[in-house]
Amino acid sequence: AATSLAPFAVSATLDSGKLFKVVPSHFQHKEIRGGELPAKSSDVRKGFIKTPGPLIAIAARRYLSRLESHPISTKGATAAAVTALGDQLAQKIEGRSTLDLRRTLSFGLSGGVYAGPFVHFLFTGISKFVSSLEKRSAVFADRNIRALISVSIDQTLGSSLYFPLYFFVFNFFESVVNGNPHDIGVALERIRNEGW
């Protein structure tokens, strides 16, 4: 299944092989058009989203319900799992004979506490800003223009804010997990060497 970090669209390839776009409930559609499905948990229960098995259906239903009722903690937990798994995969690719679980925990905590919530608020803010532009001028009614503006803000302002702060957060959790005192100088050095 392919997913987007943006809060406005998630794509999923389901058992029928068709590509469906799951649209969060805060973007209301008057009717369901060619493959667009509302992402309310009640819609999953009604059978709009077909999955290859009952366990996946239950997991999808619970995840979408939780995402709707508790978006920040759900996205934080998702980011924690993805970053921890990503670090373990990276360690395997690096050829490590044993996994550094402290490093994985540092990544997981950074993802859960910082990355997930940050991305939630970033894309929520971008979405609200772009929607406000659309109301001001017909030029912004074009979906491609709105997408260009959203990506531009994400890749400039979003990245400029996200990465420097991430180094501080990761350094903090790495220090805590390893039982070392937190040294801001290490984070500043990482920003100088890796961030720019």
Contact at 8 Å (CB) between 13 and 6?
no
Regarding pTM above 0.75, the answer is no
Question: Each residue of 49-104: pLDDT tens digit?
Answer: 554 578 888 888 899 999 999 999 999 999 999 999 999 999 999 999 999 999 99
Contact at 8 Å (CB) between 106 and 168?
no
Tokens for 110, please give them. 């950074």
180 or 10, which is more confident:
180
Task: Look at residue 67 in the predicted model and tell me its pLDDT.
Answer: 93
Distance between CA atoms of 106 and 175, rounded to whole angstroms? 9
What number is the average pLDDT over the span 3-15? 39
Residue 111 has a CB neighbour count (10 Å cut-off) of 30
What number is the average pLDDT over the span 177-188? 81
Contact at 8 Å (CB) between 108 and 80?
yes
Q: Which residues pair with 12 in a beta bridge?
A: 20
Task: Look at residue 57 in the predicted model and tell me its pLDDT.
Answer: 83
